[in-house]
Structure 1
Amino acid sequence: MAQSEQVVFLHGVGAGPASWRRVLADLPPGYRGTAPPILGLSDVPEPAVDPAPLTFARAAEDVIAGLDRDGIDRAHVCGLSLGAMVALRVAVDHPDRVASLVLSGGQVHPPRALMALQSAILRVLPERFAVPEGMTRDRFLSALDAASHADFRGDLAHVTVPTLVLCGSRDRPNLPAARALAAGIPGARLRVLIGGGHELNTDMPAEFAAELAAFWSSLDAERTVTAR
């Protein structure tokens, strides 16, 4: 029996691994997925073991460490929102470990003025309204700060793995970044899901899974033609 293809799903800020539940349940035959927590995005009860603030490099290394623990040489990596930025870092730093890349609602160089405004608002709002469950205000602000200082513009041309860029048509703040990702990554494909918002994995899980299946099927077909 052929070995299953492994997929790693990376969540956005405040969403958590459970946000991939319906997509995981709808993977095509021959594919199995995991959705690990992203290092630096959650708080734990014991401060002594609380992870350091998020950095994309550390989060990417933690994804690779997870593959190592599971004995997986290469995996398809799919990320949404901030998870897409971590996925991109994984593909840039460890191309030999990535079979393909899917980036949904990701960013290339977030507008710092807008991010600073968002952080300023979050600092004055009551924490129960402003902060996702499972995170403190400091953890949330730290993640936003890491995102605001991210700049992948110089990395896109160095992505060597097959890439699919997804974005919802209603996710207007991220549509320009989706186009920039598709234009900057060699051979990348762009798909805009009509009527979709930012969190496509929870808003349109069946359509999201169908896009993944079509992408991976096309890669299988290309490999078959190449092998002939």
Structure 2
Amino acid sequence: MTTDTAHDCNGVTLHAETFGDPADPAVLLVHGACASMLWWEEELCRRIAAAGRYVVRYDQRDTGRSTSFPPGEPGYGLRDLAADAVALLDALGIDRAHVVGRSMSGGVALVLGVDHPDRVRSLTLVSTTTGELPMGSLDVPPDPDPGDPAAVVEYLVEAFRAYAGGSAHFDEDTTRALAAADVARTRDLRATMTNHFAMDFDGPRGGGWGDLRVPTLVVQGELDPVFPPVHGQALRDAVPGARLVVLPGSGHDVLEPVWDRFVAELVEHTS
């Protein structure tokens, strides 16, 4: 069963979609900077749900159909995004969830795990970092005119090609179709492309990575050019008891050729 709904959460409206049986353990998918829930691909969500999980994906602030703020003036931080996630769990009647945070939203997952541990069954940290090591370099095109949707689509295709780090898993046609769908449903492209970089990157009030006390899985792409493998290793070492999985031939994103491995590891971790 799939549902597609909007919810008033923490003073904003969040657009969410769920997959599977609400009686199954909940998995909350939180995407990274500037990315709506569509980049947790529908088929991937269905595969996770078919393995006995109730999957929730959603548009964070300034992405997709959720609330947008003035471009360059978001007025919020990671703690607010984490509070949004808690409010969404409340709206969906979910007591505790297995939280999966990708890229920038590894920071959202950290805040949830440290400051809201009663709402978190486990953490899965995908393509993210402790923030203590330098990022890799990316060859991406100049920012497009947000008023030109076609230019934004082409920019996204080339950006995701760069994020793939030369991986053979990158599929241009699939990426272009997703980018076009995302651009078509986004409230304010200018806000989407700027506000997650302009927000306050505040951390948890209750500590840091070493203070996490929930089971944690770190998923790292072998070819990730944004956060190279040393980032995954450092994150594993920073979180007590964390386990590291490296996806062979993968870059920054979890693309279809590794979905079977990713789903298997996630299901095992959330059992």
What TM bracket, shorter-length normalisation? 0.7 to 0.9
Equivalent position of 1:226 in the other structure: none
What is the CA-CA distance between 1:187 and the residue it aligns to? 0.5
Does the 8 Å CA contact 1:41/1:54 hold for their aligned counterparts? no
SS at match of 1:200: coil
Structure 2 counterpart of 1:17: 37
Indicate whether 1:178 and 2:213 are aligned. Answer: no
Note if 1:164 corresponds to 2:186.
Answer: no
- Structure 1: how far apart are the matches of 2:236 and 2:75? 29
What does 1:62-141 align with in structure 2 at a 5 Å threshold?
Answer: 62-109=84-131, 122=143, 125-127=144-146, 128-129=151-152, 130=155, 133=183, 134=186, 135-141=188-194
- Structure 2: how far apart are the matches of 1:45 and 1:69? 16
Distance (Å, rounded) in 1 between the aligned partners of 2:89 and 2:95: 7
1:34-54, CA deviations, whole angstroms, 9 ceiling, x for partnerless residues? 101112445779879xx9455
Residues 201 and 208 in structure 1, CA contact (< 8 A), matched pair in contact too = no
Counterpart selection for 1:192 from 241, 246, 255: 246
- In the TM superposition, what is the alpha-carbon distance from 1:67 to its structure 2 partner? 0.8
Q: 1:75 to 1:46 in 2, by over 3 A?
A: closer
Indicate the larger mover: 166-175 or 61-70. Answer: 166-175
Q: Is the 8 A contact 2:236 2:244 kept in 1?
A: yes
Alignment RMSD: 3.5
Could you say which residue in structure 1 is the equivalent of 2:164? none
Q: Percent identity?
A: 29
1:223 corresponds to which residue?
Answer: none
Partner SS for 1:34:
strand
Query: Which residue identity lines up with residue 32 of structure 2 in the other structure?
Result: G
Moved more, 20-29 or 162-171: 20-29
Matching residue of 2:8:
none
2:58 is paired with a residue whose SS is coil
Q: For 1:110 and 1:142, locate their aligned partners in 2 and report how far apart those are by CA, in whole Å.
A: 22
SS of the aligned residue for 2:43 comes to helix
Deviation at 1:95, TM superposition (A): 0.8
SS of the counterpart of 2:270? Answer: helix
**Map of 1:222 onto structure 2:** none
1:33 matched residue in structure 2: 55
Evaluate the alpha carbon distance shift between residue 60 and residue 203 of structure 1 in structure 2; reply closer, same or farther with a 3 A threshold. Answer: farther
Q: Which runs of 5+ in 1 are unaligned?
A: 218-228
Q: 1:199 to 1:47 in 2, by over 3 A?
A: closer
Q: CA offsets per residue over residues 68-127 of structure 1, 9 Å max, x none?
A: 111211000002112322222211220110000001011222778989x999x54xx544
Query: What is the distance in 2 between the residues matched to 1:45 and 1:182?
Result: 34
For 1:160, the aligned partner's letter is R
**TM-score normalised by structure 2 residue count:** 0.65
SS of 1:35's partner is strand
